[in-house]
């Protein structure tokens, strides 16, 4: 899983400087090469048309193909590199393509020309690329130019248009118009949805970047975890966000026993009011071990909580494991109240990316806690060391001077410890020191401090 969301969208949207995006320019480049293919096909069809067309018509058609080649070359070497926005607006190529097709229709029979079907191709490609407005321009150009060709052909032949000719003309242009406008309407809706999705992604990227910065502010581990819950709910627009964290023990903690898990919660004010007075921090979610980075649907979140806790509201709930390397260090449970639509792919990618970055931030905060504890902790007993003793002693003395009262300092020595250490070895001596530290610590009050002085 990468640390960013990679979703390629073909939005036809200009950049801040007014230049079309790369996908729109690449689309026009491909259309130009398709025109070259059409020109070659037209050249190849000339020998087959010689039987049905006279010499003058063939020459005219050849000249028209040459004009199309000049037109396409101009688009390729002049407009595309220098004024790409003229092409991506759609009007130049739409009108130019229609007029080229009209020329072919005029040469090959007018109303009865088989090349009339090319109008459908031009209209549909224009509608797909540029939307409804460009499609309407293409349709109007087709209606005017095709009608002019039909009337001109009948005028040259000295015959008047019959009713069936007018009906045929109206039906043909009508079908082209309906096709173009319908495809353009559908294309416009697709583009609007695409732009909305692109804007949503950009906002998500910006929010994710801000959250990432906040999560890496060198906070303490518990602060980082709670901030992850707070920012996670906001980023994902969720109603509830529960995160169960289970990290390796800090230095000085007994590594033989599994670390206690903590539950960090953030939810809407309404849900917070419903669960007022309920302490979920020590609750342990009944989760099966995670096997990888994924978004897992949770059918009933209440099955995860102990029975004595208030039920969580119905809705759509998802579990996102948080990994650091191959180790699962936390689980995010995200709830959406009243939602019926399934998660979109972009939302799932956002969840996974946030989980990955949160995992890195939590691991960094945990390492920072380790480093800070290491600087004031005795590595054998896990008690605060000589340095911490003097810092704490000075603090207590200052408090005593300000508020009065007294403090008590006790120095405890282990009798014959050197003899024991020399007789049984340093490993046995370390075990004895740890046992003594646990025994002394267990008898102290919460506000008392036990350190190793020597």
| Confidence (pLDDT) at 4 | 38
263 strand-pairing partners: 244
User: Is it the case that residue 101 has pLDDT exceeding 60?
Assistant: yes
Closest CA to 80 of 13, 20, 126: 20
Distances (CA, A) of 217 to 211, 236, 264, 271: 10, 21, 19, 29
Where in the chain are the domains?
A: 22-203, 218-375, 386-442
The DSSP symbol for 123 reads H
pTM beyond 0.75: no
Q: Model confidence over 279-327: pLDDT tens digits?
A: 777 778 888 888 888 999 998 888 888 777 778 888 899 999 998 777 8
Whole-number average pLDDT of the chain = 82
* Contacts of 391 by beta carbon, 8 Å cutoff, 6+ apart: 376
Q: Model confidence over 409-445: pLDDT tens digits?
A: 888 888 888 888 888 888 888 888 888 888 888 888 8
Percentage of the chain lying above the pLDDT 70 cut: 91
Instruction: Assess contact for 46 and 58: CB atoms under 8 A.
Output: yes
d(Cα 52, Cα 74) in Å, to the nearest integer? Answer: 32
Q: Report the run of H or E that residue 98 belongs to, with start and end.
A: helix 91-107
Give the residue-averaged pLDDT of 48-76.
86
Q: Model confidence over 375-408: pLDDT tens digits?
A: 777 778 878 887 778 877 887 888 788 788 888 8
Classify 218-375 by CATH class.
alpha beta
């Amino acid at each position: 899983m990468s640390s960013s969301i990679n979703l390629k969208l073909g939005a036809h949207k200009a950049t801040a400087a007014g230049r079309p995006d790369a996908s729109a320019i690449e689309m026009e480049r491909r259309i130009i090469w398709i025109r070259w293919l059409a020109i070659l096909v037209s050249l190849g069809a000339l020998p087959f048309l010689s039987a049905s067309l006279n010499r003058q018509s063939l020459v005219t058609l050849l000249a028209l193909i040459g004009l199309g080649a000049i037109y396409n070359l101009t688009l390729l070497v002049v407009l595309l590199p220098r004024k790409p926005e003229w092409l991506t607006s759609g009007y130049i190529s739409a009108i130019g393509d229609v007029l080229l097709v009209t020329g072919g229709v005029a040469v090959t029979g007018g109303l009865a020309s088989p090349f009339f079907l090319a109008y459908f191709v031009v209209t549909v490609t224009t509608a797909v690329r540029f939307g409804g407005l460009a499609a309407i321009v293409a349709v109007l150009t087709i209606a005017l130019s095709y009608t002019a060709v039909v009337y001109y052909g009948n005028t040259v032949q000295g015959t008047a248009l019959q009713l069936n000719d007018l009906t045929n003309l109206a039906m043909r242009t009508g079908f082209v118009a309906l096709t173009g406008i319908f495809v353009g309407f559908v294309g416009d809706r697709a583009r609007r949805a695409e732009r909305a999705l692109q804007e949503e992604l950009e906002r998500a990227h910006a929010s994710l970047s801000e959250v990432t910065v906040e999560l890496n502010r060198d906070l303490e581990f518990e602060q980082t975890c709670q901030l992850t819950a707070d920012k996670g709910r906001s980023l994902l627009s969720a109603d509830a966000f529960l995160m169960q964290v289970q990290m390796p023990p800090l230095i000085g903690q007994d590594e033989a026993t599994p670390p206690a898990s903590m539950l960090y919660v953030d939810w809407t004010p309404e849900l917070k009011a419903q669960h007022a007075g309920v302490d979920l921090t020590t609750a342990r979610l009944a989760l099966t071990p995670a096997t990888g980075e994924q978004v897992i649907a949770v059918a009933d979140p209440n099955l995860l909580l102990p029975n004595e806790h208030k039920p969580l509201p119905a809705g759509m709930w998802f579990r996102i494991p948080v990994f650091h390397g191959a180790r699962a260090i936390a689980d995010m449970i995200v709830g959406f109240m009243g939602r019926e639509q399934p998660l979109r792919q972009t939302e799932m990618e956002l969840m996974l990316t946030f989980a990955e970055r949160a995992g890195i931030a939590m691991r960094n905060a945990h390492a920072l806690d380790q480093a800070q504890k290491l600087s004031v902790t005795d590595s054998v007993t896990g008690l605060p060391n000589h340095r911490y003793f003097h810092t704490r002693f000075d603090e207590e003395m200052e408090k005593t001077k300000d508020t009065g009262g007294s403090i008590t300092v006790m120095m405890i020595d282990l009798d014959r410890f050197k003899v024991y250490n020399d007789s049984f070895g340093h490993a046995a001596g370390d075990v004895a020191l740890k046992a003594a530290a646990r025994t002394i610590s267990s008898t102290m009050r919460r506000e008392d401090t036990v350190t190793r002085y020597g």
